[in-house]
Chain A
Amino acid sequence: MNNKIKRILPQLLTILFVVFVFGFFTINAQVNMDNRGIDFGFGFLSQEASFDMQFTLLDYDGQDSYLWAYVVALLNTLLVSFLGIIFCTILGVIIGIARLSQNFLIKNSAAWYVEFFRNIPLLLQIFFWYYAALRALPLPENAQPWFGVTYMTIKGYYIPSMIWENLNVFISCLIAAIVAIIFIRIYAKKIQEKEGKQLPVLYMSLALITILPLLSFLMGGVTLDFEIPVLKQLAQTSFIYEGGVALPPELIALVLALSLYTSTFVAECVRAGIQGISKGQKEAAASVGLTPNQILKLVIMPQALRIIIPPTTNQYLNLTKNSSLAAAIAYPDLVLVFAGTALMQTGKAIEIVGITMLTYLSISLAIAALMNWYNKRIEIKEK
């Protein structure tokens, strides 16, 4: 009897404590909001937002609701996170491998890069890129074209926009090519397991993905035109480029800072992963006659990835959460627009901060789930 109580009592107290803490905060918030005449509710989400956003992926206008403003701002956050993750991965892998290079110069510059960028606070780096680096760019009227048709200016990077005709045909061709490649890979694996023959999958895939979309141009009636940005005078000394697409400097600075910073951590993950594989593996693979490429692809990487993926997932999550620093440089992300302007206009602090926290939680959990799924796939399957 005594033992049973000893076992259950702490658990019971813990539960009571948790319930009490939650209850306390809820009641406290309710009472204080009542006292101050603040209503709680999500009705505001359908009200007109009545503010504009500088940069959106979907059509947004101030007449739209706060809910739509939330969606559009969320997409901006996702865009920065997505671009950041892509660039930091590419850069991280390159730097990580470079750190293991035999070449003294490559090895040391990679090490310097890592030490430099990961030891400066991210917010400072964002400020540096936005206030220092991009401010050194020319005004639109003084900009020299890059690659002939793009202009890097203090007001943003202007690139030609694509004008498609029959875009759906092109996209169907692209999807068809990808589906075909997946089938070829499955087929090639079967052949290899059955007959030990290797099909040139890479070349076949490359051919498919270029030829099929190309055919859509020749036969499917697909056309692609470019609209080139043209300088336009707004006033005596104020110019912009019209036509084409303008990437705002806020987005560029943010992606730059986030991917440079996070790539250093990814690089360390990659280095750790590769160094975690014992030398014997490589030597054994070589002794059975595999080529260096095959050794990397078939022996080292599959094992290294198992070490690389979990810590890299953390870095992706960090990058996504760090993207909220956008608020510092006027990039209209979730925090600036929704937890900033919308919060201000409506005064619904608890609701909006709650929604924003839940959103970041969901994004993080989704990324973690995706990476865990990938991690499961590449785990060693004990037979």
Chain B
Amino acid sequence: MFKHLKQLTSLFAMIAVLFAFTTEAMAKKSKTLKNTQKKGFVRCGVSQGLPGFSNADASGNWTGIDVDVCRAVAAAVLGDANKVKFTPLSAKERFTALTSGEIDVLARNTTWTLSRDADIGLTFVGVNFYDGQGFMVRKSSGITSVDQFKNGISACTNIGTTTELNMRDFFNSRGISYEPVAFEKADEVVAAYDAGRCDTYTTDKSGLAAQRTKMKNPDEHIVLPETISKEPLGPVVRQGDAVWEDIVRWSLNTMIEAEEYGITSSNADSMKTSDNPQIKRLVGAEGEMGAAFGLDNEWNLRIIKQVGNYGESYKRNIADTGILPDRGPNQLWTKGGILYVPPAR
């Protein structure tokens, strides 16, 4: 009988452990912020290597404007922009990783669409890069416009992206038959296109510009001028945690608004004594801007000081690396672009 007792106890122990998991998962109130502060780092999903957006160098340091969004969140909630754990994800894995709770912020050049926002249990919090899909071809092909595409053209791209759908819409609307060759990883797409498997490589234009730098001979390739779709790229959070959603949204907004008011990482401290109340609010010198999130009052100051404003981030990651020196639509609304965020007040 004692033998059985032993088996029974172990069984009960197992059941107890399982119950412990269940109750945690069943907890209705979302605690992303609390969990993040307890763990001491922000869990952030990024790409597997897209220069300018999220790219790791040889020693494992991540840089890019998507990376900066996560760093901003870390600066806001943990006080240190370096307390981020980055998880590289393929296009296919990214949403599952977020909804299953493996990461808390997805900043992976992800296009905001209706079906993604509504269906999958995700919430887009804003746009950190306005992009559009384009095509890259070999210069030697003599193609200078998508109007020169002919029946039978083969196009390399990624699976599981809006790119695949836009490409179909584009070719169908023009009545061109094409061969889609869709890979899971961006590096595989580049390798296949570079070797001549495909006549054209299609993805977001920023992506094309970034991947071009990875080609064997970047000068042999050009990005065609046409843009065939709208691709607003932005950070995503899980549905159901309104506070966390707000924190990520306003971390991004803070960076953009800071640029609007000329607050940079170097002058942020001195701005505390500014005469402009809006600037003072942005550096935590006026109002109670953090209370609603459960944060202190200098969360936005830390973002600006440690990560910089949007303009600094863009310059550091995208302009200075030669990917897209011209900001195009990603310029402030006051300077002819479409970056326009609600006021932080």
B-binding residues in A (CB < 8 A) = 6, 9-10, 13, 17, 20-21, 24, 27-28, 31-33, 35-38, 50-54, 62, 131, 135, 139, 154-155, 232, 234-238, 240, 242, 248-250, 327-330, 332, 336, 340-341, 343-347, 349
Contacts and interface: CB of A to CB of B under 8 A. Distances in A.
B191 A347 contact: no
A297 B165 CA distance: 57
A131 B196 CA distance: 11
A237 B239 contact: no
Contacts of B179: 54
B195 A20 contact: no
A341 B11 contact: no
Contact of A234 (B116, B150, B183): B150
B8 to A, nearest CB: 8
Contacts of B91: 344
Contacts of B182: 54, 330, 332, 336, 341
Contacts of A332: 182
Given A237-B142, A330-B188, A344-B91, A155 B197 contact: yes
A154 B195 contact: yes
Contacts of B120: 38, 347
B303 to A, nearest CB: 27
Contact of B142 (A62, A131, A235, A328): A235
Contacts of A236: 140-143
Interface in B77-129: 91-92, 95-96, 99, 115-116, 119-121
A20 B238 contact: no
Interface residues of B, number: 59
Residues of A contacting B: mostly: helix
| A-B residue pairs, 8 tightest by C-beta | A344-B160, A347-B120, A236-B142, A235-B141, A36-B121, A38-B121, A237-B140, A238-B199
B26 interface: yes
Given A21-B18, A38-B121, 12 more contacts: A27-B22, A37-B239, A155-B196, A232-B152, A235-B199, A237-B138, A238-B143, A242-B152, A248-B181, A336-B159, A336-B182, A336-B184
A234 B196 CA distance: 14
B269 interface: no
Contacts of B192: 330
Contacts of B140: 236-237
Interface string B160-172: 1100110110001
B153 interface: yes
Contact of B160 (A32, A54, A341): A341
B96 A349 contact: yes
17 contacts: A24-B22, A35-B28, A35-B240, A36-B240, A51-B180, A52-B167, A53-B180, A62-B168, A234-B199, A235-B199, A236-B140, A238-B143, A240-B152, A328-B184, A328-B188, A336-B184, A345-B160
B199 A36 contact: no
Nearest to A135: B195
Interface of B: 4, 7-8, 11, 15, 18, 21-22, 25-26, 28, 30, 91-92, 95-96, 99, 115-116, 119-121, 137-138, 140-143, 148-150, 152-154, 159-161, 164-165, 167-168, 172, 178-184, 188, 191-192, 195-197, 199, 238-240
Contacts of A327: 184
Contacts of A50: 165, 168
A28 B160 contact: no
B253 to A, nearest CB: 24
Nearest to B29: A35
A117 to B, nearest CB: 24
A17 B11 contact: yes
Nearest to A13: B11
Instruction: Output the residue of A27, A37, A53, A135 with the most chain B CB within 10 A.
Output: A37
A32 B138 CA distance: 48
A20 B14 CA distance: 11
Contacts of B25: 28, 31-32, 35
A35 B188 CA distance: 36
A109 B38 CA distance: 62
B264 to A, nearest CB: 38
A43 to B, nearest CB: 11
Given A237-B140, A336-B182, A36 B239 contact: yes
Nearest to A154: B196
A52 B176 CA distance: 13
Contacts of B143: 235-236, 238
A155 B188 CA distance: 15
B92 to A, nearest CB: 5
Contacts of B142: 235-237
Contacts of A52: 164, 167-168, 178, 180
Nearest to B99: A36
A341 B152 contact: no
B73 to A, nearest CB: 20
